[in-house]
Amino acid sequence: VALKRMLNFNVPPVKNSTGEPVWKVLIYDRFGQDIISPLLSVKELRDMGITLHLLLHSDRDAIPDVPAVYFVMPTEENIDRMCQDLRNQLYESYYLNFISAISRSKLEDIANAAIGANAVTQVAKVFDQYLNFITLEDDMFVLCNQNKELVSYRAINRPDITDTEMETIMDTIVDSLFCFFVTLGAIPIIRCSRGTAAEMVAVKLDKKLRENLRDARNSLFTGDTLGAGQFSFQRPLLVLVDRNIDLATPLHHTWTYQALVHDVLDFHLNRVNLEESAGTESTPAGARPKKKNKKSYDLTTSDKFWQKHKGSPFPEVAESVQQELESYRAQEDEVKRLKSIMGIEGEDEGAISMLSDNTAKLTSAVSSLPELLEKKRLIDLHTNVATAVLEHIKSRKLDVYFEYEEKIMSKSTLDKSLLDMISDPDAGTPEDKMRLFLIYYISSAQAPSEIDLEQYKKALMDAGCNLAPLSYIKQWKAFTKMASAPASYGNATPKPLGLFSRVMNTGSQFVMEGVKNLVLKQQNLPVTRILDNLMEMKSNPETDDYRYFDPKMLRGSDSSVPRNKNPFQEAIVFVVGGGNYIEYQNLIDYIK
């Protein structure tokens, strides 16, 4: 909604106005591109009157009779380039939108350039949009994509980090979270664990929200903001969790569709990039090997199959794709049959529609053609994506890893020694083996003896693993207070359902032989348990000493005592150091 309003020159788009949209140019930087691309397709942009969308730092031609909407970060080089555009009189008028708030001095730089270029009247509006975060789904956002390594787990937990570096990282995170709440139009109540980076974020965010509220005239949370009234009767809870409370989950191999796609394929900002395997026909000797085609697919909220199955266990997904395909084939034959009855062989739709009154049946076939084609596109997309995932599962035995790790994390008896898993040359990549061992190391109540550890290390080395992660986790485990009680993961292990149903084994696209049909047991991960305690106001040693911040309260009272005793209706969970799709799915299942 906020983006559409911006593209409409910062006035809410009027419903049912039949007029043409005002044609305009959109100029963004990489940050702006990342924010817009998961939310608005090129077609949607066109419907809003965007004829051209260009990167700020590309070579752009002058289009003197068109307004330009800029959506960029207020960085030094971006501002210089904008000033240059003004001087070169590229566009008719300029709507400058900054992703994050622009400083007074940089604003003055633009003003000076505008005066110098005699273009003051052409700068129509300057807006701080407070949109410095990326929304991937209706209930999921990330901070950034361009410089994500700057706010990563590694950046925050580097042993040699300086105080100023840490401040910068915290400010970056807080800026994005602040933008998030401005866009929501709500002021959260903040809870966080003590003595962690999450606490530093909480303190800074509380201060920033407070300062904004105190300046009543310019407060971003009053008046006609987008979300005003939407949450007015109840404020959301913001739970800031530190990644260090649970390092096993992000290392864990997964079994649900979306998490698998993210784990084994190249999946960023809702787009998955696949390398198509070149055909199986042998290349003649001496010929250059075929170049692999890269294909990319968008997995969006409008993709019904994705919405329905992204949280399903993989075998279920494979089966559903197969069913969709079969139901599609039945309909496709129907359309062909109808066409041939009418004696129309693959002719244009015009001819069909002229005969439409002959049979109502045909009319419905014609009207459902576009729908069928879209259905076909989604089936092809998921057949390709699921096949790519399946290849990884089979070649790396990911089903075995997933099941084994679940057993470790739920303290069940293991049917095969860890050493055998690590030394099995056919199971997994060196990284898979390292992840497995780290989960074992993190989850074990007492660390393995030095003798055992040496044996494991040797096996890992032989398997080609890099041991650096192990030395970090060793220090981490000695360091964390949590070491006394490793995070508990419940005690539910996945149940194999026997092999896939007969349908799957005969005539299916997916050759699932030998892949275990594992079903997930519902259990809450640490992040979900923490949320549950804080939302429902349950007393629990895990969360009892979490700090409490209410930016609306005046200072003076000790803020760790929760004010309201009512459970919260809405919550935002943010993991400092990075959440992941397993936790996201777990939270969604918990809500259901």
Instruction: For residue 225, name the pLDDT band (cuts at 50, 70, 90).
Output: very low
pLDDT given at position 338? 63
pLDDT above 60 (res 418): yes
Confidence class of residue 229 from pLDDT cuts 50, 70 and 90?
Answer: very low
Q: Work out the number of other CB atoms within 10 angstroms of the CB of residue 33.
A: 18
Q: How many CB atoms lie within 10 A of CB 208?
A: 17
Q: What is the pLDDT of residues 86-132, one digit of tens each?
A: 999 999 999 999 999 999 999 999 999 999 999 999 999 999 999 99
| pLDDT single digits (tens) 43-76 | 999 999 999 999 999 999 999 999 999 999 999 9
Which tokens go with 308? 């329905």
Helices (H) and strands (E) in the chain, counts: 22, 16
| Nearest CA among 23, 208, 211 for reference residue 132 | 208
The C-alpha angle with vertex 319 and arms to 315 and 322, in degrees rounded to 5, equals: 145
Q: How far apart are CA 238 and CA 198, in angstroms?
A: 11
- pTM score, two decimals? 0.86
pLDDT at 318 over 60: yes
CA distance 300 to 486: 37
Residue 258 predicted with pLDDT over 50: yes
Q: Which of 578, 253, 261, 280 is nearest to 435 (CA)?
A: 253
Q: CB neighbours of 361 closer than 8 A, spacing ≥ 6?
A: 338
Residue 486: the pLDDT is: 47
- What does the pLDDT read at residue 57? 95
Confidence of residue 485 (pLDDT cuts 50, 70, 90): very low
Q: Identify the CA nearest to 416 among candidates 428, 399, 400, 431.
A: 400
Decide if pLDDT at 540 tops 60: yes
Helix (H) or strand (E) holding 24: strand 24-28
Q: Sorting pLDDT into bands at 50, 70 and 90, what band is 556? A: very low
| Dihedral pair phi/psi, residue 298, rounded to 5° | -95, 125
Q: What percent of the chain has pLDDT over 90?
A: 57
d(CA 40, CA 438): 40
Angstrom distances, CA of residue 452 to CA of 416, 427, 456, 459: 16, 21, 6, 11
- H or E element that contains 172: helix 163-184
Decide if pLDDT at 298 tops 50: yes
Alpha carbons 193 and 500: distance in angstroms, whole number: 44
Positions of E strands within 446-552:
495-496, 518-519, 547-549
| pLDDT (average), residues 536-544 | 85
Return the minimum-mean-pLDDT range out of 202-206, 312-316, 565-569. Answer: 565-569
Q: For 129-139, b where at least 16 C-beta lie within 10 A, e where not — what string?
A: bbbbbbbbbee
- Among 359, 318, 324, smallest CA distance to 339 is for 359
d(CA 420, CA 411): 18
Q: Percentage helix, strand, coil, to 5, in the chain?
A: 45, 15, 40
